[in-house]
Structure 1
Amino acid sequence: MLKRSLAVTAVAASALLLVPAAAANAAPAQQLKLRGGLTLYVPIKWKVYGGGTDYVHVVTGKCAHPGGGFFTPDCKGFWIFGPKAIKSGAEGFGPYNAQRGGYYPASDVQRCPADGRLLRGERIGRHVKGLRQVGPGHKAHYHEFTTRCRTHSGKSTRSRFTTREWYLPATKVLVVDEWKTPGLTDTLRNADWR
């Protein structure tokens, strides 16, 4: 009986010792409240710019001009758009198409996000489409595709970037990430709806 009691006590003590270590490794988070009760928990080191419900820029790394617009190159992060931005989110300023994907509120060729000296080119490779979880009980239309950048004279380069988009039609929230931001998929999956 004494051996069993000591074994149970030892297991309980080791569990208590593991909890603070795990908690110490968890990154502190800030709440980012969005449309329709959607709340994201983003790392404190990520900086949030913009406001309201239509244009929110979350900078996750190096960025010379965090207050710049969507096509500002060399600015690691992602965007969260609402109805106003979605209404003119297709090439030529038409409405964003959740079936096709590709948020592009412009009618001309924009700069490459990874290298501002280059231009966006054509999509290459596989286009991944489907539904992805965003918090409990909510599914987003998901798109992932790679775009090759080109020179101003039209020559293809090795520079490329991958776009990921999550669109929630009921709340009209669109998340656009052109940097494959580490942790963003988990952030969206672990969102709350309040």
Structure 2
Amino acid sequence: MIMTVALSASLALTGSPAHAATKPVTFQGFTLQVPARWKTKKEGVDLRVITGACSAQAAECTGFLLGGPQAVKYASEGGAYRSDQPYHPSSGVTECVPAKKYTSGQATRVRTSKAAFGTGQQAQFTEWKVSCDGSRTNVTSYTQRVWYVKGKKVIVVDHWKTAGLDAILGKAVWK
């Protein structure tokens, strides 16, 4: 009994995702239920979901990008999304997300698989390790995770390994 009360109190105080308040975020024909404390910001025709702090040292706030047909069309060096390349919509140098610098870093594909993206939809999931300083060892790097729903022309790009994002996308509701 005491253990149960202590565990319940601990979960309430830590804001366990299972008990956290949520809010809907709708984009390109689907709705996600995200923690209520997360914020959204329009970026052209795309939507950035901000999940935490905005550090002056980072190139972007912690969070992820919800992209539609335009983001898919210009996802790889100004060309269409390619599953064999990380998401990099501009041509030229790569921006190192956590270190706010430009570099010609290299990316290594870690894994590719199918992932649920709501009822009846599958996304191609690809995870990349992006090195901020090319082939040098012991340098800043980050993980880029990409979910791509080809039939809907939707792409989700996460540079921060957002906890629980795969589960949130798996529960998306399509119109």
TM surpasses 0.5: yes
Counterpart in the other structure of 1:149 = 132
Counterpart in the other structure of 2:163 = 182
The SS at the match of 1:100 is coil
Residues 118/94 of structure 1: CA separation in 2 closer, same or farther (3 Å cut) = closer
Query: 1:192 deviation in Å?
Result: 1.3
TM-score, normalised by the number of residues in structure 1: 0.74
Counterpart in the other structure of 2:105 = 121
The structure whose residues are more often helix, as a share, is: 1
Counterpart in the other structure of 1:83 = 69
Unpaired stretches in structure 2, ≥5 consecutive residues: 1-7
Does 2:88 align with 1:95?
Answer: no
Counterpart in the other structure of 1:58 = 49
Residues 109/44 of structure 1: CA separation in 2 closer, same or farther (3 Å cut) = same
Query: 1:169 deviation in Å?
Result: 1.1
- Deviating runs (4+, > 6 A) in structure 1? none
TM-score, normalised by the number of residues in structure 2: 0.81
Amino acid at match of 2:48: H
State percent identity of aligned pairs: 33
Amino acid at match of 1:181: T
- Separation of aligned partners in 2, 1:155 and 1:145: 17
Task: Count residues in correspondence.
Answer: 163
Query: 1:51 deviation in Å?
Result: 6.7
Does 2:88 align with 1:131?
Answer: no
Query: 1:75 deviation in Å?
Result: 1.7
Does 2:18 align with 1:34?
Answer: no
Query: 1:120 deviation in Å?
Result: 5.2
Query: 1:74 deviation in Å?
Result: 4.5
Question: Is 2:46–2:65's contact at 8 Å kept on the other side of the alignment?
Answer: yes
Unpaired stretches in structure 1, ≥5 consecutive residues: 1-17, 66-71
- Separation of aligned partners in 2, 1:138 and 1:104: 24
Amino acid at match of 2:156: V
Higher Cα radius of gyration: 1
Question: Is 1:120–1:147's contact at 8 Å kept on the other side of the alignment?
Answer: no
Question: Is 2:129–2:142's contact at 8 Å kept on the other side of the alignment?
Answer: yes
Question: Is 1:149–1:156's contact at 8 Å kept on the other side of the alignment?
Answer: no
- Separation of aligned partners in 2, 1:109 and 1:117: 10
Residues 161/51 of structure 1: CA separation in 2 closer, same or farther (3 Å cut) = closer
**CA RMSD of the aligned region, Å?**
2.8
Counterpart in the other structure of 1:47 = 39
